[in-house]
Every structure is written in structure tokens, then in C-alpha cells.
Amino acid sequence: MTAGSGDAVEQVHAPRDDDVHALYEHAPCGYLSTTADGTIIKVNQTLLDWTGHQRADLVGGRRFVELLTAGGRIFHETHYSPMLRMQRTAREIALDIVRPDGSRLPVLVNSVVDRSADGEEVIRSAIFDATERRAYERELVREKERAERSERRATVLAATLQRTLIPPAPPTIPGLDIAAAYRPAGRGDEIGGDFYDVFQVAPDDWAVVLGDVQGKGVAAAVVTALLRYSTRAAAVEHRLPSDVLRILNTVLLRDDTERLCTAVVVRLRSVGSRWTMTLACAGHPLPLLGRAREPAVAVGRPGPLLGFFEEVEFADVEITVRSGDALVLYTDGVSEARRGDAWFGEQRISDALATYGSSATALADGLLHEVLDFEQQHPRDDIGLVAIRVP
Amino acid sequence: MTVSGNPDGQPMLFAHGFGCDQNMWRYVAPAFADRYRVVLFDHVGAGGSDPSAYDAERYASLDGYASDVLDICAALDLHDVVFVGHSVSAMIGALAAVRAPDRFDSLVMVGPSPRYIDDAGYVGGFSRADIDELLESLGSNYLGWSTAMAPVIMGNADRPELGAELTASFCRADPAIARRFAEVTFLSDNRTDLAKVSTRSLVLQCSNDVIAPIVVGEYVRDSLTSSEYVLLEATGHCPNLSAPAATIAAIAAFVAHDLTV
């Protein structure tokens, strides 16, 4: 219907809400006015109902600060009051009003400083019942504290478990210089999947294993632990790294895990002053051998990864090493470290062999730092390294 | 840190208390600018200070804050300092004056309390439970801080209220630092340090202060070896805001007396 149609517009009846007294007294929030020094001069019925105070007890003699808990009084004096003095307004101040029976009313207070009709300064406050909001906030704080406690526990647990899987330092092997470096991915608050172990099998006969279990966390750690002690047991029975890898493959297939693993096993034996290294790889990056005045070369033959195929064949490669030779074992967290589109790659590892050739520790630490620098200190994958050098 | 006033004048160093920042002196400090070199600063974690400078170990007691005062004196090469400390900073000044009495000419303690919690034979005004409640209430006001927006300034020309750029930070502090400062402040006990203060001191007591009641001000006066005491007709804990004229007059009389002696 349009106005031009000639029909009279029907009168809409709306209820009026212009009783200012009722608006003030029965507003859905408390109103409170004080003098500049906080003495209460006016209060509405809503606030009296909420607090259980009598009007006569509040108006004329008492100060707003006196209605608060002791903690609230301090906050009033150190925050609320200075803010009002300096800014003439304060908002969302959380306080507790004490009722005559001692119970508390959590409130949020908004205040402004204004002048009354006779020119005196008055502080006008709107007071909101914050009982449920405060309960919710307390619950949030409790949850936050619980989460922080739980995170601290998990971090300590991860670090403890990590230490049992990654020896803090490899043992000393007489006549051989050996060092390792390890850094879990990300912030280091989760157990990584990389592991290594260096142990003696017989006099002048040592074994080294570096592996990478798929995934991370507690489930990966269980598999890591299984592989670590299985390697030790198998190395006692079997001289050849290929046999040790075959047993690890069987162990993984029989175990109730879907996790795959890559590993490199090296057997170190000395005859007289000469060391031989026999190594085999299972789905693992081939170790690099650095020799004085020669470019670094990859040693070993690629083999299948562990925990997938029933029938596996691994090839052993034996090398005789001389004084000054260095062999570096590394996980794909090193070679596949990324910066943008760039990979860290084998060449940088070869370069590190030349740069840090002076000792196994220099090589392991230097290479770790280069990888971390490359990834701007945020490794996306675990980094595991073992450096073996003939002095 | 803000340095103003007479560059050749005697230094007057103002330190704010728990809760706000150096703007607490906005109504008082300018009155001394013609004769004194006025130095204002924010305690670590307050106002415009750098929160990363907070070191939990250094600030585990008021001594760390006293060290800051002495560091400021050393950095600006201040001597014969008139130190004006409000609330907990009165005690911070006392600790600094005990450690380096030669630096200080006099101490002005505004609303001081050497211990806020009642003890055998001592009334501080609060119980341990009260202080625990305060620490919890700071947690409740955390949300107010974190979502803090600069409040609208109500126009009023007769006092130099804060501009919009300052209201964003005034009385808003890093919640974790504020909570630890509250713990250090309200759980401290410096009663035995007062007797070690040899510097001439003024105790400015408000007539109606719920944080530092009159008995506490009198205790401080009686414990100091050389003190004057002025009871201000003022309500609340911040006479520097609620009664700036009386505060200025009391400080001026105290330091003027100092000049004639």
C-alpha cells in the first residue's frame, strides 16, 4: 500500500518507557554515585537488591571502597582511583562487593567523573553482576594452569625418554675418534624418531647404528627402544651388518607396529693399527667417506627399508680406513633439510667433511650448526649424525 | 625515564608505587621544575618500560628495585638527591638510601608502609588471606588488560589529564610482572630497615588511607632516626592525585627547611 492510495495510515500502538525514576531504580544494572572522595550519595534499588545492603546504611556515610574485599580495596586504590583521577573514566574493573552476610558479589564496574547540577564533582558508576563471567574466568584460569602443568610434565617425560634413546655422548673407542649430534624437530618438546647407538661387541670390535623410525612421539619411541636393544642382541650373534638388518626387519614385521624404519649399521674392527669398517644400509642415506685431498664419496649399497618386505637382501661393503679418513653417518633430516625450494643436499655434507676434518667432534658439531643455520634454527625433521674419524 | 626542570638544580627523583606509572606525579612534579632537576621513571613492567628488561631473579625482592634507583642515580650522575617515593617506592627509596647514603639529601615518603600484613604487636592493615585475595583479583582483571582499549577521554579543561596516547598504558601492566610486583610489594617486611636510614626523611600520611593507615605512618615516623611527619587532610592512598596542592606544599616546606639548616 502506498501513501498515494488515499488510505489512512493505521496508528501503531507502542508502549512508552519514559518513567525516568523506574529506569534508574530498576535498571538491569546497579547505579552508584559518589562524591570525588568516594562517599556514596546515591544508589539504585537494583544494587540494593543484589548486595542486600539497606539504602540508609550506604548513602551519606560510607565510601564505595569500604564495600569491597581487602584485595579489591587495594586494587581500587592502586588502579581504579588513579585511573579515574587521571582519565576521568574507568572501564570493566573487576571487583567483589561484600554483602552484609559476608558473601561476595563479583561485579564489573564502569565509572565516569562528571559534575552535578551544583557544579560539584561526582563519580557515576554502572555496576554489572559478573558472577557467571567470573566463575567462567576462574575455570579458564584453572584450565590454563592444568594445561601448563600437563605440558611441563610431557616435556620432562619426552626429554627423559629421549635421553635413554640417544646417549648424551658416544663411548670412547681406543684408537678411533667418534662423535655424534642430535636435534629433534621443531621446538624439541616431542620425542623424535631418530636414534643412534655405539657399543662394544668384543675387544677391538665395535658396532654403530644410526636409524630413523617413521613418525614421532611415544609410539615411535617404543619402536626405537625395540630396535635399539634388538640391534645390540643381533650384533653379538652376527658379525655382518646385513645379517643385523635382516633380523631388525623380522623384529619389525613381527611386532604389532605399522611403522617403517631406515637404518645404517657399521661394524668397526681393528687389527693391529689398521681399522676396517663394514657397513650395510636399509633405506637409509649412504654414509660419506672423506679422505685427504680426495672428494668425498658415498659408501655402501642402497637396501630396502625395514618393516615392509618379508624377503629382504642387504649388501655389506667393507672398507679399510687410513689415518685422516672420516666417515659421516646422517639421517635424511640432514640431507633433506629445506630452505625455501633449496635442499641441504649431499654436496654440503661433503664440503663439511673437508671443512671440519680436524676431529669427529668438530665435524658433528659443525655439520649440525650448518644444517640448523640452513633451516634458520627451525628443523622440520629430526637431525641425527655420527662422525667417525681415524686420528 | 623523563628528565626535565632546571638542569643546574638539585635533583628531585620521583618514583611511582604499585599499580600505575610516572604519570602519577603529573600534578606534583611540575611545581618543582623551576628549582629542581626533575627525574621521573617507570618501574620495570609499568608504563612505558620495556617488559623484556624484567628479570624474575633481580626483582624477586624490593632490593632489585632499589638497585634500579641507584643505577639511575649513577647513570645521570645525581648527587644530593631528593627522593620522592609513593607507596612501595617509599620503601624502595629507603633501601637505596641505606645502601648509598651519600647519594641522597633527603627522602619524601608518600603513604609508606614497611609491612602490609599484621604481625604480633604490629598493625599493617591486612591479613595474609587479604593479600592472597588481591593476587587473585589481579588475575580477574587480567582480561581487562589483555583486551585493553584506550578509553574515551572526557573533556575537562581545568586539570592536565592524560592525553589519549598515555591512557593506553596508564595503570595497565604486563599481568605476570604486575602480579609478581604485587607479591613482592605486599609480602615484604622492611621494618628493620627503617632504623638503618640515616637520611633526613618526611613521612606524608593521608588522613583516610585504606592501604597505609595512620598507625602505619606513625610507626614509620617513630622508626626513622631523622623524620618529619605531616598528616594530610586527604582521602585515599594517592594524595599526589587527590590533594596535589597540599602534597606540593608539604614537600616544599620540607625541602625549604633543608636549605636553611
- Residue A294, phi then psi, degrees to nearest 5: -130, 145
Chain A residue nearest residue B160, CA to CA: A86
Yes or no, beta carbons of A37 and B235 under 8 Å apart: yes
From A187's Cα to the closest Cα of chain B, the distance in A is 21
Yes or no, beta carbons of A65 and B135 under 8 Å apart: no
Question: Across the A/B interface, how many CB contacts are shorter than 8 Å?
Answer: 126
Per-residue CA distances from A253 to A222, A261, A265 (Å): 15, 11, 19
Contact with chain B for residue A345, Cβ under 8 A: no
A-chain residues near B162 (CB < 8 A): 86-87
Residue B166 is predicted with a pLDDT of 52
Q: Could you give the dihedral angle defined by the CA atoms of residues A30, A33, A36 and A38, in that order, rounded to the nearest 10 degrees?
A: -60
- Residue A270, phi then psi, degrees to nearest 5: -115, 135
Partner residue facing A81 (CB), from B136, B162, B236: B236
Choose, out of A35, A86, A104, A136, the residue to mutate when testing the contact with B (most B CBs < 10 Å). Answer: A86
Cα–Cα distance for residue pair A313/A317, rounded to 1 Å: 13
B-chain residues near A73 (CB < 8 A): 210-211
* Band (A8; pLDDT cuts 50, 70, 90): low
From B260's Cα to the closest Cα of chain A, the distance in A is 35
* Band (B167; pLDDT cuts 50, 70, 90): low
Cα–Cα distance for residue pair A66/A38, rounded to 1 Å: 9
For chain B, the residue count is 261
Chain B residue nearest residue A95, CA to CA: B137
* Rounded average pLDDT over A112-139: 91
From A48's Cα to the closest Cα of chain B, the distance in A is 23
Q: Which residues of B are catalytic?
A: 87, 209, 237
Yes or no, beta carbons of B140 and A134 under 8 Å apart: yes
Domain boundaries, chain A: 19-129, 167-389
pLDDT digits (tens, 9 = 90+) for A236-252: 999 999 999 999 999 99
Partner residue facing A81 (CB), from B129, B153, B238: B238
From A122's Cα to the closest Cα of chain B, the distance in A is 13
Contact with chain B for residue A82, Cβ under 8 A: yes
Taking all residues of chain A, what is their mean pLDDT, rounded to a whole number? 90
* Rounded average pLDDT over B78-103: 96
Burial of A227 (0-12, 13-18, 19+ CB in 10 A): buried
Yes or no, beta carbons of A79 and B171 under 8 Å apart: yes
B-chain residues near A142 (CB < 8 A): none
Yes or no, beta carbons of B154 and A63 under 8 Å apart: no
Cα–Cα distance for residue pair B109/B202, rounded to 1 Å: 6
Residue A1 is predicted with a pLDDT of 45
b/e for B148-166, b at 16 or more Cβ within 10 A?
eebbeeeeeeeeebbeeeb
Partner residue facing B153 (CB), from A74, A85, A87: A87
Residue A157 clears pLDDT 50, i.e. is over it: yes
Residue B153 is predicted with a pLDDT of 34
* Band (B145; pLDDT cuts 50, 70, 90): very low
Yes or no, beta carbons of B238 and A82 under 8 Å apart: yes
| Cβ B242 vs Cβ A85: under 8 Å | yes
B44 is in which domain, residue-wise? 2-260
**CATH code (residue B130):** 3.40.50.1820
H-only helix segments in B46-174: 62-75, 88-99, 128-140, 142-146, 164-167
* Rounded average pLDDT over A110-119: 92
Yes or no, beta carbons of A82 and B152 under 8 Å apart: no
* Band (A10; pLDDT cuts 50, 70, 90): low
Identify the bridge partners of residue A205 per DSSP, sorted by sequence position.
A202, A269
Yes or no, beta carbons of B236 and A86 under 8 Å apart: no
Chain A residue nearest residue B185, CA to CA: A74
Residue B141 clears pLDDT 70, i.e. is over it: no
Residue B142 clears pLDDT 60, i.e. is over it: no
Contact with chain B for residue A121, Cβ under 8 A: no
Residue A135 clears pLDDT 80, i.e. is over it: yes
Q: What is the CATH number of domain A19-129?
A: 3.30.450.20
- Residue B235, phi then psi, degrees to nearest 5: -100, 135
- Residue B227, phi then psi, degrees to nearest 5: -140, 150
Q: Do A167-389 and A19-129 have the same topology in CATH?
A: no
Residue A189 is predicted with a pLDDT of 66
* Band (A287; pLDDT cuts 50, 70, 90): very high
Contact with chain B for residue A145, Cβ under 8 A: no
Yes or no, beta carbons of B238 and A73 under 8 Å apart: no
* Rounded average pLDDT over B174-183: 84
Domain count, chain B: 1
Residue B92 is predicted with a pLDDT of 97
Yes or no, beta carbons of B154 and A83 under 8 Å apart: no
Residue B186 is predicted with a pLDDT of 93
* Band (A14; pLDDT cuts 50, 70, 90): confident
- State the complex-level ipTM: 0.86
Yes or no, beta carbons of A37 and B143 under 8 Å apart: no
Contact with chain B for residue A274, Cβ under 8 A: no
Cα–Cα distance for residue pair B61/B79, rounded to 1 Å: 25
* Band (A180; pLDDT cuts 50, 70, 90): very high
Instruction: Quote the cell numbers at residue A252.
Output: 619389525
Chain B residue nearest residue A71, CA to CA: B134
Distance of CA A233 to the CA centre of its chain: 36
From A71's Cα to the closest Cα of chain B, the distance in A is 4
Which stretch of A25-34, A289-298, A302-311 has the lowest confidence by average pLDDT? A289-298
Choose, out of B127, B209, B210, the residue to mutate when testing the contact with A (most A CBs < 10 Å). Answer: B210
Partner residue facing A86 (CB), from B23, B127, B135: B23
A-chain residues near B161 (CB < 8 A): 86-88
Domain A167-389 = CATH 3.30.70.60? no
